[in-house]
Amino acid sequence: MYAAFDELAAAAEVYDELLYDTYDEVTPFEIPGSDTLPAYAGPEEPSALSVLIRRDYTVAEPQRLLHQAQRIADLDPDAADAAVRDGADSAGMAAGVVGSSVHAALGVLFGEFEPDEIASRHKEFGLEEGDSTLWVTAADEPAEPGEWLSTPFDQADPQRVVCRFDVSSVFDEEPGEEDDDLLEALDRER
């Protein structure tokens, strides 16, 4: 299994370099080197998996976030009803749902949209992307419904990571001479 992963990782790196050379684009994934994870200690043939995702954002434009969250709340009658139940009168409803609270705005935003949609529309919501990582970990058996909800990331054992994909501005550095030499060699092979 690890030989196949290494071959796939090498092929992905070659593909990324060709894609960059030809179209000035890259895939959004960084395949980690073997030194970033401890040796795999999970089952040889996993029968269950967990996918752990972390995405970091900076609230770059708080006013945009507040405006978009309020717009979402205004379109959602359930949010307006909740605001009225919590004491806002119907005339002051707009101020009652989001107001000037970034915390409330984030609650509305993440309550309405799936994380993948927020990732694709982050600028629209006044957010700036930071680093992100996705870990696929092997499990011995599927978790019981609700079993890990109170502590969702406590079982993230790095020795059970089957594969990992990282996205970071650290990886956006300009190609160095070694990279240029590799790209020239790839050009000769084509």
112-148 confidence digits (pLDDT tens): 999 999 999 999 999 999 999 999 999 888 989 999 9
177-189 vs 2-23: helix crossing angle, rounded to 10: 90
Partnered with residue 163 across adjacent β-strands are: 136
Partnered with residue 139 across adjacent β-strands are: 48
- For the chain, the structural domain boundaries read 1-58+132-143+155-169, 61-125
Residue 72, pLDDT above cutoff 70: yes
173 Cα distance to chain centroid:
20
The H or E element spanning position 136 is: strand 127-139
| DSSP summary character for residue 30 | B
The H or E element spanning position 65 is: helix 62-75
Q: Among 12-26, 81-95, 137-151, name the one with the lowest average pLDDT.
A: 81-95
φ, ψ at 30 (rounded to 5°): -120, 120
Alpha-carbon distance of 119 to 68, in angstroms, equals 15
Distances (CA, A) of 127 to 42, 61, 180: 37, 7, 34
Does this model's pTM top 0.85? no
